[in-house]
Chain A
């Protein structure tokens, strides 16, 4: 047991140091940070450059977030009429939720974390798509396997990808919170810090299923680029197919739950029980992907 654990940690460490030297790792780090900061810039610019008054921005943001939440929670009825129903007070729960994110908590941080929740599923596979397929393609995995078990190798690589993603997300969010607290100073540190820690927790939990999905695709496909295309393609295709199918028959919208798209926003819910359930779903999704990857990798002809 201890030997396996040591092997897993050793593979994780090697995976992280290899990621810094590999093209995919460099691209993952640079793209994640640059896109994350660009999203922050997108959220800050209207207020910081004085294009709009703070209260006007707050009202608009509450409407926008309410609409996005209504779409993501698959509310019944015609999506084109959601905005009118929100203004008429019909979707009360969504309005309260949006007001909680915009009025009760630091607004800009909530907006950035919601945007990151949309973009990270497309960026995270960049850090994990070559976890297994890279070695399989170059056949270097044959030199590794006599010295370790397939389970230790898979879990070690997954752990390494996860830690690298967590470090990146933490660094990005810390930079944004510091900027919000020191430069913009719209909210006090007493508001920013607890909400920042909760948002960070939400993003770290959300990253687990998507990193696992990347590793799963990496075990299925031998060519790293195909694994990347598959993992990003699935992350994009699930919501597209779900919303298109929902237009034909409303229950088909539940396809959104094939990935955490259907409940990831609930990690920022005002209700503690909802957050706990969303966390468990995320961990469950990640575990299912890891188990599938394990089954596939154990039987793979390498």
Chain B
């Protein structure tokens, strides 16, 4: 069996990117589903399930804009797809898929966090400021690693 010359850090980043791709994708889908439920509620097409109506009413009462949810969902999906591509790119040491996939994913993750902090009401955000700092840490760390530490390793 051939010994891989890929640095262990790239493998670790690929695993972490996979995890963040899944969590970002799940969050983005949730926002898109919420947006479509608000639209259904306004059209009078929401089902009779009581818990669902209560949740949608809570979101509407909090003054959330469905357009904002849609934008956050789309950017979250972009982050998720870019990070998923970067997993393959980092494992095969490809410059565009690994390096630029990670970079686009990181920028999209930062954008989602900052926009969510500005647009979403605290009752929906349900997080302290330090949790926003926590969300910003990984994308910035990943940018540093991919663009500085592993720059020469992603050469294909």
Contact = CB atoms under 8 A, between A and B. Distances in A.
A49 B149 CA distance: 38
B126 interface: yes
Given A29-B141, A38-B134, A41-B134, A183 B9 contact: no
Interface stretch (A1-9, A18-26, A212-220, A279-287): A18-26
Nearest to B11: A23
B119 interface: no
Given A30-B16, A30-B141, A179 B8 contact: no
A30 B138 contact: yes
B137 A34 contact: yes
Contacts of A34: 134, 137-138
Given A21-B150, A30-B16, A41 B130 contact: yes
Interface string A129-172: 00000000000000000000000000000000000000000000
A48 B128 CA distance: 6
B149 A179 contact: no
A240 interface: no
B130 A179 contact: yes
B129 A179 contact: yes
Contacts of B129: 44, 48, 179, 183
Contacts of A38: 134
Interface string B41-78: 00000000000000000000000000000000000000
Contacts of A23: 8-9, 11-12
A27 B12 contact: yes
Given A23-B12, A26-B12, A29-B141, A37 B7 contact: no
A267 B137 CA distance: 29
Interface size class of A (residues with CB under 8 A): 20 to 34
B128 to A, nearest CB: 4
A26 B9 contact: yes
A21 B9 contact: yes
B8 A37 contact: no
A45 interface: yes
A246 to B, nearest CB: 36
B13 interface: yes
A38 B131 CA distance: 7
A170 to B, nearest CB: 15
A183 B127 CA distance: 14
Given A21-B149, A27-B12, A179 B7 contact: no
Given A21-B150, A23-B8, A30-B138, 6 more contacts: A24-B8, A24-B12, A30-B12, A41-B131, A176-B130, A183-B129
Q: Please give me the 5 A-B residue pairs with the lowest Cβ-Cβ distance, nearest first.
A: A23-B8, A23-B12, A37-B134, A26-B12, A48-B128
